[in-house]
């Protein structure tokens, strides 16, 4: 990928000011396949200056022009759909089938969603004699993670463009190529020069420079809670708006009236989504104590049925983790589960049999996990499920809520009214009842240390808008 050595600033592909670089490693083979240019503070200054210069004209552009722009972006994205899938297969080890059907599809979904939101969205409304006006927040720093590359890129860029903002994006240095490919799409679609800018780099250098920069009005960050805290601290000196989508440790409550084989099998599949590298997946399965043994047997069979293999094979269901550091971290957490007394149902430490290379992890299930154990408290980010027991519905709710996180939660029941009652008591930004399909218009974000603010749909658009009251405007 020739663009790996370049940044996109002011409507042009430019040579970085920094000479630093990073080898990109294929997670399935552990072989280097590209070298990424890594930016510094001077690159950030150049990108922010371009965004500030482009902001006034774009902020004043008619909404109809922004809608037309987003439609062109969607059209070009669809044309290059397979390129996005192949890029994410290579850069983060996503199996090609999931890269197409789970990863690349998110770009289409979020672009279509923002176009639906804009259809009839009121940027101005009258309240008595006061006129309320929604205006773009300004220059936005968009810092995205490696685990859902195009999803997190589009879910920030699309509403920022829709709102009339200018932006600088720093994608994760571990999955940057899909962002560079999307920059090509934006360039072809005719995004005005300077409205969109891209600088690659790491968090302590480029991410920190963006968070601190006086020319940035807002930071939208997705990543770990630890890093999110640092971003918020750095942004505080200039009183930026900070929107954060951080970690999760989602509970999946299986009530005693469920179809257990179906509920457990689907719960395992949900937990192993994206090789377990997702912040909102159900990693803690809560079952009545009386169902623990049966649930563990079902989960074991479901986990062992997952097909691991080369990422270019359409048959592969579970790919490697993104890099060596992530692999080692997950190995340590699996060992912690064993050491602390959880029952290892299947999986465990080490690579799966037959995999001498690649950051593959054995599909792992623990049962008899207690709330105090490390694997019940820490976000693992690998294909590891913890099954926990409860005595009563009230205790299940307490266990589900007994975490620092509150991004998502899940409830399964044969009685929809009962599931709704439990869902209302869960402290999470999104609660999923009986494994529903994704709703790309529903707000996405968390309670507690899972962040603040929301993405997706109308809620995501409003994050990029300031509200102005024109008092005494009059009714005519």
Q: Where are any strands of DSSP class E within 69-192?
A: 124-127, 130-136, 139-143, 166-170
135 class by beta-carbon count within 10 Å (0-12 exposed, 13-18 middle, 19+ buried): middle
Contact between 43 and 17 under an 8 Å Cβ cutoff? The reply is yes
Q: 159-194: buried (b, 16+ CB within 10 Å) or exposed (e) per residue?
A: bbbbbbbbbbbbbbbbbbbbbbbbbebbbebebebb
Contact between 430 and 407 under an 8 Å Cβ cutoff? The reply is yes
Q: Where are any strands of DSSP class E within 246-304?
A: 250-254, 282-288
- Is 165 considered catalytic here? no
Task: Please pick, among 86, 165, 279, 379, the residue that the annotation labels catalytic.
Answer: 279
**Max Cα-Cα span within the chain:** 75
- Other C-beta atoms closer than 10 Å to the C-beta of 372 total 9
State the Cα–Cα distance between residues 77 and 239, nearest whole angstrom: 35
Task: Please pick, among 91, 173, 245, 463, the residue that the annotation labels catalytic.
Answer: 245
Start-to-end CA distance of the chain, whole Å, equals 57
97 class by beta-carbon count within 10 Å (0-12 exposed, 13-18 middle, 19+ buried): middle
Cα 214 to the center of its chain, rounded Å: 26
State the Cα–Cα distance between residues 240 and 234, nearest whole angstrom: 9
CB-based contacts of 148, cutoff 8 Å, min separation 6: 103, 106, 274, 278
**In 190-236, which residue ranges form alpha helices assigned H by DSSP?**
208-212, 225-236
401 class by beta-carbon count within 10 Å (0-12 exposed, 13-18 middle, 19+ buried): middle
State the Cα–Cα distance between residues 233 and 242, nearest whole angstrom: 10
- Is 245 considered catalytic here? yes
The SS3 assignment for 320 reads coil
State the Cα–Cα distance between residues 125 and 96, nearest whole angstrom: 46
Contact between 238 and 214 under an 8 Å Cβ cutoff? The reply is yes
Enumerate the β-bridge partners of residue 9.
Answer: 12
| Residues tagged active-site | 245, 279
């Amino acid at each position: 990928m020739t663009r790996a050595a370049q940044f996109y600033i002011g409507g042009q592909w430019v040579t970085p000011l920094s000479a630093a670089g990073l080898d990109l490693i294929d997670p399935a083979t552990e072989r280097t396949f590209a070298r990424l240019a890594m930016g510094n503070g001077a690159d950030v200054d150049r990108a922010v200056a371009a965004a500030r210069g482009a902001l006034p004209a774009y902020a004043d552009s008619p909404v109809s022009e922004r809608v037309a722009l987003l439609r062109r972006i969607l059209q070009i994205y669809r044309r290059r759909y397979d390129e996005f899938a192949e890029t994410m297969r290579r850069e983060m080890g996503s199996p090609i089938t999931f890269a197409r059907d789970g990863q690349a599809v998110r770009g289409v979904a979020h672009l279509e969603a923002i176009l639906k939101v804009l259809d009839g969205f009121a940027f101005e409304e009258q309240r008595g004699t006061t006129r309320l006006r929604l205006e773009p927040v300004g220059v936005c720093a968009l810092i995205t993670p490696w685990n859902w590359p195009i999803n997190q890129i589009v879910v920030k860029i699309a509403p920022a463009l829709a709102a009339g903002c200018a932006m600088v994006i720093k994608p994760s240095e571990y999955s940057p190529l899909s962002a560079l490919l999307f920059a090509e799409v934006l360039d072809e679609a005719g995004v005005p020069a300077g409205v969109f800018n891209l600088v690659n780099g790491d968090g302590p250098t480029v991410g920190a420079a963006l968070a601190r920069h006086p020319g940035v009005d807002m930071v939208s960050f997705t990543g770990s809670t630890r890093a999110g805290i640092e971003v918020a601290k750095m942004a505080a000196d200039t009183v930026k708006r900070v929107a954060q989508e951080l970690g999760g440790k989602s509970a999946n409550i299986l009530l005693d009236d469920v179809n257990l084989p179906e509920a457990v099998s689907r719960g395992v599949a949900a937990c192993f989504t994206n090789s377990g590298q997702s912040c909102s997946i159900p990693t803690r399965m809560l079952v009545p104590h009386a169902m623990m043994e049966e649930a563990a047997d079902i989960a074991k069979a479901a986990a062992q049925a997952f097909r691991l293999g080369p990422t270019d094979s359409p048959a592969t269901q579970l790919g490697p983790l993104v890099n060596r550091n992530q692999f080692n971290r997950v190995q340590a957490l699996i060992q912690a589960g064993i050491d602390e007394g959880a029952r290892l149902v299947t999986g465990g430490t080490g690579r799966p049999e037959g995999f001498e290379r690649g950051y593959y992890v054995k599909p792992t299930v623990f049962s008899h996990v207690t709330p105090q154990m490390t694997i019940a408290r820490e976000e693992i980010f690998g294909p590891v499920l913890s099954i926990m027991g409860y005595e009563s519905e009230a205790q299940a709710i307490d266990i589900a809520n007994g975490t620092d996180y509150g991004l998502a939660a899940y409830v399964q029941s044969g009685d929809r009214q009962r599931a709704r009652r439990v869902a209302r008591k869960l402290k999470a930004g999104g609660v999923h009842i009986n494994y529903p399909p994704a709703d790309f218009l529903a707000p996405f974000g968390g309670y507690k240390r899972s962040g603040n603010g929301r993405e997706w749909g109308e809620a995501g658009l409003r994050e990029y808008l300031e509200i102005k009251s024109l008092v005494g405007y009059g009714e005519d």
